Structures are given as structure tokens and as C-alpha cells.
Amino acid sequence: MKIRQRLALRFTLVSALLTGAILCIIYFVTRGFVHADFVERLSQQSRFEVLHYATPSVKDILPEGSFLLVNPSTSIYDEHGELLYHQGNYIIPESWVNYLLHLPLFNAERGEYTTVGRRYLIDEKNYLVFVSDKDLPGQHELDILIKAIIIGWALSLVFSYLAGLYFSGNALQPVKRVVKEVNGITKDNLSYRLKVDKVPTDLREADEMNELVITFNALLARIETAFVTQKRFVQHASHELKTPLTAIMAEAELALARDRNNDDYKRTLEVILGETERLVSTTQGLLTLARLEEGSYPFEMEHIDVNTWIHDTLTTFHLHHHDRIVQVDGALETTHIKGNTQLMQLALLNVMNNAAKYSTNKIVLTLQQTPDEISIGIQDYGIGIPTHDMDRVRSPLFRGSNVGAIAGAGLGLSLVDRIIRIHNGVFLISSEEGKGTLCEIKLPVHG
């Protein structure tokens, strides 16, 4: 069953309950009024009956009237309960007479008959008057009212369902439009955005349909970004992996083309080894980045002493860059962060390797601390990053347009950014082409 039909049925159910409740109230209120009017007419009839009986001369002034009574039965008793007058087929029980001897009013329902009893004082004599009758006109009116209520209620259900279909159809028209637009979106037109009837200044002021469209457009934007990034990633990855493989094959074919001396073979093996290391490094970087993005990297969080982490990273850095000067400004107290030691060393080492790769001067390591976080700044004075490349420098396998022949795969900053985000930190990059780059790692203090 479609939403339109479900909405129409729910609208019909609610309408049926409300309409039924209102019609029931109308029926019972009307029934009460009809009964009260019938009792009043019986009371008026009892007054006339006792006047006609006790003062016959009144008949000339007040002629007999039935007050729309069909076949009333009248019984008149004296103040001792003795029957003085009776007309009709209905017999009054003795208990009713005894009741009226003590109280001036009496009303009773028995079967189809309604009986009223009244006590009147005429010429200093008490008379007990009972009038009984069937309210056939009133019952006839109630029967007609019940039929009208049933027919009206049934018709209201039909009209409610049809109205529900109509209004729910109108309400769901934007949904049909959105479905039609979404069905037209493919991988070739991910830049398409659904139309918004009215763009609100505040999302909280938008109606549900516009809010859905705006949210879906935001989802499309994220999907498009992910798709483009993946496409660029595959293109760059294939290029980065193809280059060392091509070099390895070329060197091997060249070495096998003819006999060569030991020095030539050694040079060939050195080239192959270098390209293989580059290939392994790129592959490992791609795998690590993919696992981090998927959240499937098997790492455990632990308490890391910040000073020990920085010292071990600097030691590893100097093993590969023993001729580079690293100036450390500032100092940190004994502070701990929560993280994975291997990943944190990889992140800091990647930033420092980049600084060493793209500069020849000293590298400045600035340490700062607040009660809530630590900050590590890595400043180099190398080629810097062009302004137009800053937005993409964190993308996997992207390299600045000014790197020239400097070797690299473009994975370092991507890994650093992802690792720092996993550790609830912030990774900031500021740079000026030709003057150098400042990378800043901010991490929350733990414990």
C-alpha cells in the first residue's frame, strides 16, 4: 500500500472517530431533550386531567387537549390513596401511589411507557394524578435521526477517504518530483542538485520537504567529492605505481640486452632497489591510508609521554638525515596524550621528512603547551606551497605544482591529517611559496 493510500486511510479513521463521537453526542442530547419534552407534556396533561375532574366548570374555559399524546392513561387518587378516576389501559402499581403520598413528584420508566405522578391541592383537597403513555412521535423522530446519522456517517467516511486521497496526493507531489529528479542522477552528472522551492535563510525555518531536499543536496555534494577524490586517487595511484615499475623493467631489460661489467650490474641493481623501495613505500602508504579511512586499522590507544615521543621521533629522523639541523624552541612539561605510538611517530616523522625534502636550511621545532592541549610546530624555509594548491595538499597522492623533480608520492600530509583527526587533534598548514611551510599539530592532553 502506498503512502498516499495509508495517509487517506488514517485521515478517514480519525475523521470517522471524530464524526462518530459528535453524532453520538448529538443523538443522546436530542434523545434527552425529546424525553424531557415528553415528561413535560405528561405533566401538563396531568394538570389538565385533575382540573377537569375536580372543577368540571373549567372544561368550558380549558378544553381537553392531548398535548400530542397518542393514548394516555390517567389515574387520580385521593389523599388516602383511594382511586377516584381511571381512564386507559395502564395500571398504576400501589407502590407508586405510596411514593407519591410522601413526595410531590414521581417519574418512572417501565417498558415502553413513561409515567409521571404529580400531587395537586385543589379546594383544600390533595389529588394524586398519574399519566402514562408511549412516546410514539418522539420515538419515530429518534428512529429517523438514527437513520440520518448512520447515512451521514457513512457518507462522511466516503468523502473523508476521497478528500484524504486528494490532499495527500497534493502533499506528496514534491516527493514524486524529487524521486523523478533523483532517478535522473547518474555517475556522470553527480554535480546536479535537486531544486528547492524556496531557499530559507535558516534551515530550521524550512518545511519538511525543503529540509529533505537541502539535506539530500548536501549528501550529493559529499558523494560527488568522494567520487572525484576516489577517481583522482586511482589516477594518481596508477601513475605513482606505474613509474617505478616501468623504471625497474627498463633497467632489467637494459641489463639483459648484452653482457656488462660488474659496475654496470651494480648500478642497475641499485636503481632497481631504489625504485622497489619507492614502490613499497607508496604501496604501504596507500594501504595505511585506506585502512585509516575505513576505520579498520588495528591499533590500540595508550598513554604516550609526549617528550619521549618527540625524542624518539627526532632520533629516527637523524638516522636518515644526520646532516640536517633541527632547532627546538620551547619545552613541554611531563605530559601525556592518548594515542597509538606507532601512528603518532609516523605522523610527526612524515612532517619532518617533508620539511627536510623540500628545504635545505634548518628545521625549527616549536613546542607550546596549555592546560588542555599541546602544540608542535614544524617550520621549514624551503620552496613552500603555492596558494592555489593549499586546498588540495591534504588529498592523497596530490603534490604541489612546484615540486619539480623532487621524489615523492604525495601521501605524507594525507596520512598525517588522517592520523591527527583519529586522535581528536587538529593539523594546520600555512605556507608561502618560496619562503617555507609551517605545519602545526595540536593534540588534547590526557590525564
Q: Is residue 176 part of a domain?
A: no
The vertex-228 CA angle with 227 and 233, nearest 5°, equals 95
The owner of cell 598548514 is: 429
| Residue 315 shares a structural domain with residue 437 | yes
Q: Is residue 261 part of a domain?
A: yes
The reported pLDDT for the residue numbered 328 is 84
3-state secondary structure at position 155: helix
Looking at the 3D structure of the chain, how many domains does it have? 3
**Whole-number Cα distances in Å, 7 to 149, 168, 171:** 25, 7, 10
Backbone angles phi and psi of 124, in degrees to 5: 65, 25
pLDDT by residue (tens digit) across 314-372?
888 888 778 888 888 888 888 888 887 877 888 888 888 888 888 888 888 888 888 88
Backbone torsion region of residue 186, taken as left when φ is above 0, otherwise alpha when ψ lies between -120 and 50, otherwise beta: beta
* Cβ atoms < 10 Å from Cβ of 170: 10
Q: Report whether 344 contacts 423 (CB < 8 A).
A: yes
The reported pLDDT for the residue numbered 24 is 93
| Residue 281 shares a structural domain with residue 146 | no
| Residue 349 shares a structural domain with residue 252 | no
| Residue 338 shares a structural domain with residue 384 | yes
For residue 7, give the CATH number of its domain.
3.30.450
The reported pLDDT for the residue numbered 192 is 78
Q: Is residue 202 part of a domain?
A: no
Which grid coordinates belong to 138?
Answer: 418522539
Average pLDDT per block of 10 residues along the chain, 447 residues long? 81 89 93 92 88 72 66 90 90 91 89 91 89 90 92 90 84 78 77 71 65 80 75 63 73 77 79 73 62 59 84 84 83 82 81 83 86 87 80 70 65 78 84 84 82
For residue 251, give the CATH number of its domain.
1.10.287.130
The reported pLDDT for the residue numbered 430 is 85
- Pick the closest to residue 289 from 191, 188, 396, 149 (CA basis): 396
What range defines the domain where residue 392 resides? 301-444
Three-state secondary structure of 83-141: EEEEECCCCCCHHHHHHHHHCCEEEEEECCEEEEEEEEEECCEEEEEEEEEECHHHHHH
- Pick the closest to residue 218 from 242, 200, 194, 235 (CA basis): 194
Q: Is residue 8 part of a domain?
A: yes
Rounded to the nearest angstrom, the gap between the alpha carbon of residue 250 and the centroid of all alpha carbons in its chain is: 59
| Residue 62 shares a structural domain with residue 122 | yes
Pairing of strands 426-432, 373-380: unpaired
The residue among 293, 324, 347 that closes a domain is 293
| Residue 311 shares a structural domain with residue 279 | no
Encoded amino acid at 385, one letter? I
**Contacting residues for 70 by C-beta, under 8 A, at least 6 apart:** 133, 134, 136, 137
